[in-house]
Amino acid sequence: MLDHEDLKWIATTSTELNSMLQQISRYADLARQHKGEYNYIEMLGERVELASKTAQDLFDRVTTRILEGSSAKSKQKADPSRPPEFKVVRSSSEPAPKTRTPADKAAARSKGADTKKASAKAAGIPPEIRVLNPKGNRELILLVDDETEIAELASTMLTDEGYRVILARDGFEALKIYQQVGNQIGLVILDFFLPVMDGDAVFDELRALNPDVVVVLSSGFAEQSKLGAMLAQGLKGFIPKPYTAEKLLEQVRSTIDAARLSGS
C-alpha cells in the first residue's frame, strides 16, 4: 500500500502538475491574444506534453503501489507456512513483582502528577507538528507561505518576539494542522498565492472549520475585489510584502489584541 514517502511524492507531483496546468492556461490565453506574435504555441505544446507525462507517472505509481499492497495482503492471508503469532508469558522461575509499600505508592503518585503536569503543558499538539520556539511565552501562530525564504524570515521575526510558530507550505497542510490544533492557534498569517489552493479558498475552508478564525492575509499583491470580499467575510487585516519586522509585529499584535477584545 501507499507509504509516507509515496504520499509525499504524490503531494509534490500533484502540486507540480497543478502549476503546469496553470501555465498551460496562461500560455493558451497569451497565444489567443497575440496570435503568433510570440512563440507561445510551442511553449504551450511543451507544457502539455510534460503535464501529460507527469499525470501518467502519478497514475502509474498510485496504481502500482495499490496493486502491490493488495497482492501482498492476499499472499499473507493464504500462506499456510506463515508462523503463528504467540505471546510471551512470564516463566514460573522468574521472580514475582516486588510488593509496593505505601511509600512506593506515594512516590509513584507524585511522579504521576508531575508527568500529568508536563503532559498538560504540551497537550493538544501532536509530535509530528513542529512548533518553532515551543517555550515561547506568546501566542501560537500558524504561518502559511510556500516561499521558504520568506517563511523562515517571518518565523524568525515572530519567534524572536516570543511567539510560537507552526509553518505550513500550502493550503492543504494548513487545514490539516488547523483541524488538529486550531483551538490553540491565536492567529493565522495566510499568503494569498499558494500551490493548489489560493488564499481565498483556504480562508473559506478555515471559516468552515471555525467561523471565528483570526486570519491576516499576507501578499505582495492581491486582487482588490477578492481582498474586499475576504474583509467582508471576516478577514482581520492585510500585511503587504515585502514587510519589515516592525510592520509584521505591529499587525500581529494589534490583530490578536483586537480579536481578544471582541471575543473571537
Spatial distance between the Cα atoms of 165 and 155, rounded to a whole number of angstroms: 6
Asked if residue 183 lies in contact with residue 124, where contact means CB atoms within 8 angstroms, the answer is: yes
At residue 66, the pLDDT reads 64
Cβ–Cβ < 8 Å for 187, 214: yes
Nearest to 151 by CA among 137, 168, 173: 168
DSSP string for residues in the chain: ---HHHHHHHHHHHHHHHHHHHHHHHHHHHHHHHTTSSSHHHHHHHHHHHHHHHHHHHHHHHHHHHHHHHHHHHHHHH-TTSPPP------TTSPPPPPPPHHHHHHHHHHHHHHHHHHHHTTT--TTS--BSTT-SS-EEEEE-S-HHHHHHHHHHHHHTT-EEEEESSHHHHHHHHHHHGGGEEEEEEESS-SSS-HHHHHHHHHHH-TT--EEEEES---HHHHHHHHHTT--EEEESS--HHHHHHHHHHHHHHHHHHT-
pLDDT tens digits for 82-133? 544 434 344 444 455 455 566 665 555 555 444 444 333 445 789 999 999 9
pLDDT at 91: 42
Segments making up each domain of the chain, as ranges:
4-78, 140-262
Q: Pick from 1-5, 52-56, 208-212 the range whose average pLDDT is largest.
A: 208-212
* Percent residues over pLDDT 70 in the chain: 64
CB-based contact 219:241 (threshold 8 Å): yes
Q: Which CATH architecture has domain 140-262?
A: 3-Layer(aba) Sandwich (3.40)
Question: Full-prediction pTM beyond 0.75?
Answer: no
pLDDT at 25 over 80: no
Residue whose entry in the numeric block shows the C-alpha cell 517571518: 154
Residue pLDDT, tens place only, 35-57: 555 555 666 677 677 777 777 77
Task: Determine the average pLDDT of the residues in 216-236.
Answer: 84
- The dihedral of CA 101, 104, 108, 114: what is its sign? positive
**Residue 89 corresponds to which cell in the numbers above?**
508469558
Q: Which residues contact 50 (CB under 8 A, 6 or more apart)?
A: 20
At 4-23, the pLDDT tens digits run: 777 777 877 777 776 667 66
Residue environment code for 29-62, b if the CB has 16+ CB neighbours within 10 A, otherwise e: ebbeeeeeeeebeebbeebbeebeebeeebeeee
